[in-house]
């Protein structure tokens, strides 16, 4: 008998997983299953056609699903290809006999699923990079930022957490032909599909975007083919800065000679699944000039996934780069001494930096620290966000303005905002000064700032318990 599984939504990977587990436990072979997803135009079309899944066989062993399988599925199931559910179930079925089957990259089934997963990852990345919000004033006088985007795959819900984290303090809506997301600072509401006409056409913010884009446009990186691949023309119509591209390209050749070639693409690839993979990823990252300066990236250290708290500095310094450990130089020693005084054991938390490589100016034998630009911090934020996803700290302490920018995505004033500055995705973000700031002061100014630093750490310590 054929079992017909009707999934409630095209992106409902949880529903697929539950059904697939039940089918394996019931011993239903892949050839005996048909998977339906709701057609956009007629969501209830298949509702009556579903057949109940038989109960588990009494002797059924636990379902086996390797990490490699789960990570492949998470992406492949969001593809528009209707056969994806069937292919995924065939691989899950195979896993019950060969638990490592998903790791066999040469296997035709694994390859097919991988070919589905890749464009989904790209689509997720493109949405993160190319959504452009336009400001509208709502009837109640509130400002809301609205964006229009046309995803190729079922990635809208999968991307919601990213936009909530990044734009936590704004009210925003993302409209797509597949559905809409609306954030009011507290929760995300889902709405029906929209059309481009529902989205505003432009606003004064666009001038800001254009100015920003022109200032970060790097002619040395201009490869028109690569640029079109990274920023396909279909997204240009939603991007105010795209109007500048023809002129910027025209002027680029002349400026190119004066600039240093840096990484050609900021496609960070698939999110790392472990902190070890993240450490490898940051070391290999060439997405900005700092990543290309020949230094080794410095990974975070501490209790790892599930750590009680996270402390974020600006970037590794000379000593940190040599020893491949964060906070081991002079500023790190000041920090560690004060943490200990405040009763904060760094081994219970996770120490890391907003920027992963050491930006410096070589002068003779010494390498002089250089402050990263906002653009460089913003580039590295992709890694910091992934690190937060993996460590999942409930309390985060930003040391100084660069760390605050990496965490909050905006410029913050330490003097005006120190203390608890934001709640993001269930985590509190706290702000205090960077210990290197204390090292640059002396006399009464140093005493006063040190006292404030001690008070901030005491408050943070009390919070983390
Ligand atoms: N300063 C930082 O911000 N991070 C380090 O790891 C060392 C010094």
Q: What is the DSSP letter of 168?
A: T
Q: By alpha-carbon position, which residue is closest to atom 7 of ligand 1?
A: 327
d(CA 419, CA 428): 10
Cα angle 262, 266, 271; round to 5? 135
Report which ligand 1 atom has the smallest distance to the Cα of 352: 6
Ligand 1 near 353 CB (within 6 A): yes
Please answer whether residues 387 and 275 qualify as being in contact, where contact means their C-beta atoms are separated by less than 8 angstroms: yes
In a domain, 269, yes or no: no
Mutate to test the pocket of ligand 1, among 319, 332, 339 (most ligand atoms within 8 A of CB): 332
Residue the block writes with tokens 């507290």: 186
Q: Which of 81, 98, 120 is where one domain is finished?
A: 120
* pLDDT at position 295: 92
In a domain, 223, yes or no: yes
Please answer whether residues 36 and 6 qualify as being in contact, where contact means their C-beta atoms are separated by less than 8 angstroms: yes
Here the tokens at position 208 are: 């800001």
Q: Which of 88, 120, 152 is where one domain is finished?
A: 120
Residues 234, 101 share a domain: no
For residues 261 and 92, the model is more confident at 92
Residues 112, 38 share a domain: yes
Ligand 1 near 332 CB (within 6 A): yes
135 CA from centroid of ligand 1 (Å):
37
pLDDT of 438 strictly over 90 = yes
pLDDT of 198 strictly over 90 = no
d(CA 147, CA 130): 10
Residues 455, 357 share a domain: yes
Residues 209, 189 share a domain: no
Ligand 1 near 316 CB (within 6 A): yes
Please list the residues that pair with 427 across neighbouring strands.
Answer: 424
Report which ligand 1 atom has the smallest distance to the Cα of 298: 6
Cα angle 373, 225, 372; round to 5? 5
* pLDDT at position 46: 46
279 CA from centroid of ligand 1 (Å):
16
Report which ligand 1 atom has the smallest distance to the Cα of 402: 3
Length of the chain equals 465
Residues 372, 448 share a domain: yes
Which range (107-116, 166-175, 178-187, 243-252) has the least confidence?
A: 243-252
pLDDT of 42 strictly over 80 = no
Ligand 1 near 358 CB (within 6 A): no
Please answer whether residues 411 and 401 qualify as being in contact, where contact means their C-beta atoms are separated by less than 8 angstroms: yes
Q: Which of 120, 154, 188 is where one domain is finished?
A: 120
* pLDDT at position 265: 39
Residues 320, 193 share a domain: no
Mean pLDDT over 444-450 rounds to 94
Q: Closest by alpha carbon to 382, among 270, 274, 301, 304?
A: 270
Residues 234, 87 share a domain: no
Q: How many CB atoms lie within 10 A of CB 343?
A: 11
Mutate to test the pocket of ligand 1, among 290, 301, 317 (most ligand atoms within 8 A of CB): 317
pTM across the whole model: 0.49
In a domain, 261, yes or no: no
167 CA from centroid of ligand 1 (Å):
26
In a domain, 265, yes or no: no
Residues 324, 399 share a domain: yes
pLDDT of 250 strictly over 60 = no
pLDDT of 253 strictly over 90 = no
d(CA 90, CA 78): 17
Please answer whether residues 102 and 71 qualify as being in contact, where contact means their C-beta atoms are separated by less than 8 angstroms: no
pLDDT of 146 strictly over 80 = yes
304 CA from centroid of ligand 1 (Å):
18
Q: What is the DSSP letter of 81?
A: -
* pLDDT at position 242: 62
190 CA from centroid of ligand 1 (Å):
41
* pLDDT at position 220: 47
Please answer whether residues 438 and 334 qualify as being in contact, where contact means their C-beta atoms are separated by less than 8 angstroms: yes
Which range (178-187, 204-213, 356-365, 450-459) has the least confidence?
A: 204-213
Ligand 1 near 314 CB (within 6 A): yes
- Kindly give the residue spans of alpha helices, DSSP state H, lying in 54-204: 67-76, 84-95, 108-130, 160-166
For residues 256 and 145, the model is more confident at 145
* pLDDT at position 254: 46
In a domain, 18, yes or no: yes
- Kindly give the residue spans of alpha helices, DSSP state H, lying in 217-329: 224-230, 233-236, 245-256, 275-284, 318-323
376 CA from centroid of ligand 1 (Å):
16
Q: Express each pLDDT in 82-138 by its tens digit.
A: 999 999 999 999 999 999 999 988 899 999 999 999 999 999 988 988 888 887 777
Mutate to test the pocket of ligand 1, among 436, 437, 439, 440 (most ligand atoms within 8 A of CB): 436
* pLDDT at position 145: 85
- Structural domain span for residue 238: 205-250
Here the tokens at position 181 are: 């997301």
DSSP 208-237: HHHHHHHHH--GGG--HHHHHHHS-HHHHT
In a domain, 361, yes or no: yes
Q: Express each pLDDT in 311-332 by its tens digit.
A: 999 999 999 999 999 999 999 9
* pLDDT at position 210: 56
Mean pLDDT value across the chain: 85
CA 25 to chain CA centroid, nearest Å: 35
Residues 139, 112 share a domain: no
Residues 415, 336 share a domain: yes
Which CATH number covers residue 349? 3.40.470.10
Cα angle 229, 235, 241; round to 5? 100
Please list the residues that pair with 183 across neighbouring strands.
Answer: 172, 188
Highest mean pLDDT among 31-40, 111-120, 232-241, 264-273: 111-120
* pLDDT at position 302: 97
For residues 228 and 338, the model is more confident at 338
Q: How many CB atoms lie within 10 A of CB 225?
A: 7
DSSP 350-409: EEEESS-S--EEEETTEEEE-PPPHHHHHHHHHHHHHHHHHH--SEEEEEHHHHHHHHHS
Query: For residue 259, what pLDDT band results from cuts at 50, 70 and 90?
Result: very low
Residues 371, 330 share a domain: yes
Residues 230, 362 share a domain: no
* Structural domains in the chain (count): 4
CA 199 to chain CA centroid, nearest Å: 25
139 CA from centroid of ligand 1 (Å):
47
204 CA from centroid of ligand 1 (Å):
38
* pLDDT at position 224: 54
In a domain, 256, yes or no: no
Which range (77-91, 198-212, 294-308, 423-437) has the least confidence?
A: 198-212
For residues 144 and 244, the model is more confident at 144
Report which ligand 1 atom has the smallest distance to the Cα of 436: 1
């Amino acid at each position: 008998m054929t079992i017909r599984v009707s999934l409630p939504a095209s992106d409902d990977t949880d529903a697929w997983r539950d059904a697939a587990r039940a089918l394996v436990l019931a011993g239903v072979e892949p050839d005996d299953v048909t998977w339906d997803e709701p057609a956009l135009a007629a969501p209830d079309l298949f509702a009556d056609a579903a057949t109940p899944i038989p109960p588990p066989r009494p002797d059924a062993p636990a379902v086996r699903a390797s990490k490699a399988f789960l990570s492949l599925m998470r992406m492949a199931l969001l593809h528009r290809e209707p056969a994806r559910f069937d292919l995924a179930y065939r691989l899950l079925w195979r896993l019950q006999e060969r638990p490592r089957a998903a790791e066999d990259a040469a296997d035709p089934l694994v390859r097919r699923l991988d070919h589905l997963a890749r464009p989904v990852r790209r689509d997720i990345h493109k949405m993160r990079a190319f959504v452009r919000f336009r400001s509208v004033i709502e009837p109640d006088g509130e400002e809301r930022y609205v964006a229009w985007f046309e995803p190729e795959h079922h990635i809208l819900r999968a991307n919601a957490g990213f936009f909530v984290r990044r734009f936590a303090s704004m009210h925003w809506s993302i409209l797509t032909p597949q559905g809409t997301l609306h954030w009011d600072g507290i929760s995300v509401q889902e709405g029906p599909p929209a059309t481009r006409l529902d989205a505003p056409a432009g606003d004064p913010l666009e001038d800001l975007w254009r100015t920003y884009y022109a200032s970060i446009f790097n002619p040395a990186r201009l490869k028109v083919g690569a640029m079109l691949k990274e920023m396909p023309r279909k997204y240009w119509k939603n991007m105010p800065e795209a109007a500048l591209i023809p002129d910027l390209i025209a002027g680029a050749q002349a400026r190119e000679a004066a600039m240093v070639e840096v990484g050609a693409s900021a496609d960070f690839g698939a999110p790392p699944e472990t902190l070890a993979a993240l450490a490898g990823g940051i070391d290999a990252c060439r997405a900005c000039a700092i990543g290309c300066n020949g230094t080794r990236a410095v990974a975070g250290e501490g209790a790892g996934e599930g750590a009680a708290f996270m402390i974020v500095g600006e970037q590794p310094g000379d000593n940190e780069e040599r020893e491949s450990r964060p906070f081991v130089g002079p500023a790190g020693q000041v920090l560690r001494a004060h943490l200990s005084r405040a009763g904060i054991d760094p081994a219970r938390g996770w120490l890391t930096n907003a920027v992963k490589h050491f930006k410096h100016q070589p002068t003779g034998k010494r390498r002089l620290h250089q402050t990263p630009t906002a653009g460089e911090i913003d580039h590295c934020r992709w890694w910091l966000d992934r690190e937060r996803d993996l460590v999942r700290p409930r309390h985060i302490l930003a040391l100084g303005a660069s760390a605050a920018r990496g965490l909050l995505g905006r410029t913050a004033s330490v003097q005006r905002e120190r203390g608890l500055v934001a709640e993001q995705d269930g985590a509190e973000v706290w702000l205090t000064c960077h210990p290197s700031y204390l090292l640059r002061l002396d006399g009464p100014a140093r005493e006063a700032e040190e006292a404030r630093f001690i008070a901030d750490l005491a408050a943070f310590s009390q919070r983390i318990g």
